[in-house]
Structure 1
């Protein structure tokens, strides 16, 4: 499967490079049809080669209207952030909606309890209301990394 997995990975990376945005949205079934493989093989590549460790955030919804959103968490070209903050900042601007989707996925995968997710949601809301963006992203990045969900 590694040759097919390589082909799928290269296709997705090419799509990411084509786009001017930090993320792409793909339809799993259409991608599987285009690459002549099963949708489960797409899922395998997404989970093994596009993980948080490798600098990606993947959101997936199944069903007829389902999609896969891949967000690249790499620094932008013109990064003028002071050196001490660079290590703690996520590379993209994360919205509350993104965080809520992530919290929902963590609840579904039983990585977080409902109570923990609610506490994190309120923490993130307070950060969005009270803290400027560079510091907010640094704190959110630290919180997400400290969850150690691998």
Structure 2
């Protein structure tokens, strides 16, 4: 299920990155139809990957008029400026989720625009698909090091 869960998570994260608001509202059944999965799989991803400790709050209403609202929680004041990735994570454990969280924080601190974050997300995604881990970590580190953060 992890491949499908990753696909669902990435779809929701793309929606959040494209949206200028602090929350998005989705219809679980429509999302499940679009991603060709069961609504329960959407619920699973929401409960495991969009939790409070990961910076999100999820409101859900079931039924014919049901919806899912995903709200980005404001990080604590000391978290406004992200720590360098080398201080946050051991290099061997960097995941797309970690990079998406970093990109989100850079957007919130106005160090990146939404467009730049989406472009970087797709770049990192391509690296995960095409490049072996040791090289991938080196390239990701070089990209992050050379970002001209405002």
Structure 2 length-normalised TM: 0.51
Q: Which residue of 1 aligns with 2:77?
A: 86
Alignment of 1:64-143 (within 5 A): 64-75=64-75, 86-87=77-78
Q: Which residue of 2 aligns with 1:27?
A: 27
* Residue 86 of structure 1: how far off its partner (Å): 1.6
* Residue 74 of structure 1: how far off its partner (Å): 3.7
Q: Which residue of 2 aligns with 1:7?
A: 7
Q: Which runs of 4+ in 1 moved over 6 A?
A: none
Count of aligned pairs: 80
Q: Which residue of 2 aligns with 1:58?
A: 58
Query: Which segments of 5 or more consecutive residues in structure 1 lack a partner in the other structure?
Result: 76-84, 89-150
- Distance in 1 between residues matched to 2:19 and 2:67, nearest whole Å: 17
* Residue 87 of structure 1: how far off its partner (Å): 4.8
- Distance in 2 between residues matched to 1:29 and 1:15, nearest whole Å: 16
Query: Which segments of 5 or more consecutive residues in structure 2 lack a partner in the other structure?
Result: 80-150
Q: Aligned-pair RMSD on alpha carbons?
A: 1.9
* Residue 73 of structure 1: how far off its partner (Å): 1.1
Q: SS at the partner of 2:14?
A: helix
